[in-house]
């Protein structure tokens, strides 16, 4: 059965002008104050229905309570001021809900929030928002996966320089780099499939996690409430154990980190001196306020900026796990802002990277030209290993290293220098050197790795 979709109230607060850069409209709407209030009210409505079905409250009380669970009926600013004194939003919300129900049905008002505690409502409401947030993220993850897979297939033979320590190292197909990015995304998708059943479970324990307020009907009501909300039913309430929330936060951090890795690579490949790939062009995109010629990696910048904010948010959440006894002080409350912010940053970064991947411009001729800028030095390992078959690895390495230094000093090609060395030509003739200096012949298992990356689902 498809989980119910949150009914989001109409926005009444202006969106931040930075939201479009670092977030997404759908995710911003999901985590407005009004949406958070509505999620908690949805839990209260479901609780009333569940308890009515279980005979805990009169059946006729459920409908009046549910009708009053509409965020538009409440003064959010007033609730916020009251929450400052109460310690959380649920306490004044329950008072306001009770008063709203009482205006129409004083008897039904007696059964608002029956047997629950504030944290039950807040945690479960946040879970409803997180469920919708993950659905949004999964859509863009699937889109990014498709885009990267298409690029990897298309460029499985496109030669470029493989780089280590920011220096040219040996030739690779561009598809190998893309396969690495794709593999990370598919592992993220697999991790999320594993995490969701652990995360999306009901929080309902009453004051200290025993549900003593419901007598011997606690398990029955829990099961009914979980069914109403289409959440899993955990072995016990988890007020003091925050590993579920921190696990999903860690996953959001991992995903944003993998996106940042792609953004770093792409932005480096966009440098003028390389010019091998480009973010998709568009009117007004990537320009400079003063330099008309600029084509800046603005999407990559947004991804990297989002990633830069994530570690601090994660540190706070991990630090908040050391809660006191059955319900803690301070650490749990830190989740209320940090988790929504992580969702927004991740969604923004993911949306940017999906757009980049779907429209990535690849200059294959520039990639090939850049392979030649070292005048053969990028093939030094290939030549060294080819010569090593005759004279041993250490001796061959020494000869090619010396020749490389000579080539740099004399501004000559490495092949030209080696062709003058009898210690080399004694074993490697012109055709052998031609083969060893052909970058297409020195890509190893790259194509096999690309095929395996495309076949692997994480």
Cα(198)–Cα(196) distance, integer angstroms: 5
DSSP 234-259: -SS--TT--HHHHHHHHHHHHHHHHH
* H-type alpha helices, 200-242: 218-229
Among the options 163, 191, 264, 327, which is catalytic? 327
Active site annotation includes 327: yes
DSSP 21-33: HHS-HHHHHHTSH
Cα(414)–Cα(337) distance, integer angstroms: 58
Q: 232 in helix, strand or coil?
A: strand
Active site annotation includes 84: no
Per the document, the length of the chain is 458
Q: Report phi then psi at 295, rounded to 5.
A: -130, 85
Gyration radius of the chain's alpha carbons: 30
Helix %, strand %, coil % for the chain, to 5? 65, 5, 30
CA of 346: how far to CAs of 41, 44, 400, in Å?
26, 29, 47
Among the options 16, 106, 210, 288, which is catalytic? 288
CB 295 within 8 A of CB 281: yes
Helix (H) / strand (E) element for 138: namely: helix 118-154
Residues with catalytic function: 288, 327
């Amino acid at each position: 059965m498809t989980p119910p979709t949150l009914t989001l109230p109409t926005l009444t607060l202006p969106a931040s002008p930075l939201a479009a850069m670092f977030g997404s409209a759908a995710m911003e709407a999901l985590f407005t104050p009004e949406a958070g209030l509505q999620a908690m009210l949805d839990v209260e409505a479901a609780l009333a229905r569940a308890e009515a079905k279980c005979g805990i409250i009169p059946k006729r009380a459920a409908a009046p309570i549910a009708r009053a669970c509409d965020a538009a009926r409440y003064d959010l600013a007033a609730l916020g001021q009251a929450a400052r004194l109460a310690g959380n939003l649920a306490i004044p919300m329950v008072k306001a809900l009770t008063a709203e129900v009482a205006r129409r049905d004083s008897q039904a008002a007696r059964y608002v929030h029956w047997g629950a505690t504030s944290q039950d409502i807040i945690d479960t409401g946040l879970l409803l928002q997180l469920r919708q947030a993950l659905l949004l993220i999964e859509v863009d993850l699937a889109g990014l996966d498709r885009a990267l897979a298409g690029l990897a297939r298309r460029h499985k033979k496109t030669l470029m320089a493989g780089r280590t320590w920011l220096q040219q190292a040996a030739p690779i197909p561009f598809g190998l780099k893309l396969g690495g990015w794709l593999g990370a995304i598919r592992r993220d998708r697999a991790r999320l499939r594993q995490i969701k059943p652990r995360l999306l479970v009901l929080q309902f324990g009453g004051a200290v996690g025993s549900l003593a307020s419901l007598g011997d009907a606690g398990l029955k009501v829990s099961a009914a409430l979980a069914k109403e909300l289409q959440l899993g039913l955990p072995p016990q309430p988890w007020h003091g154990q925050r590993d579920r929330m921190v696990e999903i936060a860690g996953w959001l951090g991992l995903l944003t980190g993998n996106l940042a890795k792609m953004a770093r690579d792409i932005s480096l490949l966009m440098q003028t001196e390389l010019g091998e790939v480009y973010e998709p062009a568009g009117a007004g995109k990537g320009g400079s306020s003063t330099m008309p010629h600029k084509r800046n990696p603005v999407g990559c910048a947004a991804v990297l900026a989002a990633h830069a904010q994530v570690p601090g948010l994660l540190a706070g959440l991990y630090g908040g796990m050391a809660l006191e006894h059955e319900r803690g002080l301070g650490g749990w409350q830190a989740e209320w802002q940090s988790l929504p912010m992580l969702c927004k940053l991740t969604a923004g970064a993911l949306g940017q990277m999906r757009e980049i991947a779907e429209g990535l411009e690849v200059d294959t001729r520039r990639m090939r030209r850049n392979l030649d800028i070292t005048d053969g030095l990028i093939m030094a390992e290939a030549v060294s290993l080819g010569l090593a078959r005759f004279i041993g690895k250490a001796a061959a390495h020494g000869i090619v290293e010396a020749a490389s230094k000579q080539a740099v000093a004399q501004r000559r090609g490495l092949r030209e220098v080696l062709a003058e060395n009898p210690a080399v030509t004694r074993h490697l003739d012109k055709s052998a050197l031609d083969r060893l200096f052909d970058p297409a012949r020195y890509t190893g298992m790259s194509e096999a790795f690309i095929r395996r990356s495309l076949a692997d689902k994480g």
